[in-house]
Amino acid sequence: KQEVTQIPAALSVPEGENLVLNCSFTDSAIYNLQWFRQDPGKGLTSLLLIQSSQREQTSGRLNASLDKSSGRSTLYIAASQPGDSATYLCAVSSGTYKYIFGTGTRLKVLA
């Protein structure tokens, strides 16, 4: 059974710092992996999706990498800003329709 873990559960950094969020999964036979952002009281916003054949995806200050063999993905945020404060979740699809989510990393960027 696929399990997805995100460590740490919470993180505080000063504004301007580059940071890395981690996601690990137990079964390397994945379809794709998504990173989401969730603001309090809101739904999830898809940030980046990496197909199983890809190694990384970039969007603006965000870069996500995927290493299937080690069961890991990282989300790199460059030059963090207070507006980046949110919970970041990763989700892995091991089958056609179903995603397994991690419990998220709650990020706070201090001004």
Partner 1 sequence: DAGITQSPRHKVTETGTPVTLRCHQTENHRYMYWYRQDPGHGLRLIHYSYGVKDTDKGEVSDGYSVSRSKTEDFLLTLESATSSQTSVYFCAITPDPAGPQHFGDGTRLSIL
Residue given tokens 């995927």 in the structure block? 66
Which of 60, 69, 97, 111 touches partner 1 by CB under 8 A? 97
Stretch in the footprint of partner 1 (CB under 8 A) among 12-20, 58-66, 70-78, 91-99: 91-99
- Cα separation, 95 vs 100, in Å, equals 10
Contact yes or no for 108/17 (Cβ under 8 A): no
104 makes contact with partner 1 (CB under 8 A):
yes
Q: What are phi and psi of 63, to 5 degrees?
A: -140, 125
Per-residue binder mask for partner 1 (CB under 8 A), 28-67, x = binder: ---xx-x-x----xxxxxx--x-x----------------
- Cα separation, 46 vs 49, in Å, equals 8
Which of 4, 33, 92, 107 touches partner 1 by CB under 8 A? 4
CB of 103 to partner 1, least distance (A): 4
Phi-psi region of 58 (alpha: psi -120 to 50; beta: other; left: phi over 0): beta
In this complex, which beta carbon is closest to partner 1, that of residue 10 or of residue 79? 10
